[in-house]
Amino acid sequence: MGRKGRLAIMLFFTVLVMVYLILALSYVAMATPDIPTCNEDQVLVGQGRFVGGRWERYICGPALDNCGGGY
């Protein structure tokens, strides 16, 4: 295989990797919901369906210690 053949193979794989990265980044950017900034006495609460490792939406809720102990 000559120099042009190796260059063509490198170009093919470079384009393939670029397409994969663009698709992966577009998926991540598309699936990210708005996440609000909560005050120090609030916690972030997910609402809706849990899809793809994320909740559909997020809200700030009160930080309550109602676990009843048992640690």
**According to the model, what pLDDT value does residue 30 have?**
67
Where along the chain do its domains lie? 1-30, 33-64
Q: Which residues contact 43 (CB under 8 A, 6 or more apart)?
A: 60, 61, 62, 63
Q: What is the pLDDT of residue 67?
A: 66
User: What is the model's pLDDT at position 18?
Assistant: 96
Total-model pTM: 0.43
User: Which segments of the chain have a pLDDT < 50?
Assistant: none
Cα distances (angstroms) measured from residue 18 to each of 10, 15, 22, 65: 12, 5, 6, 48
Q: How high is the pLDDT of residue 69?
A: 57
Q: Which residues contact 58 (CB under 8 A, 6 or more apart)?
A: 33, 34, 35, 36, 44, 45, 46, 47
pLDDT of residue 31: 61
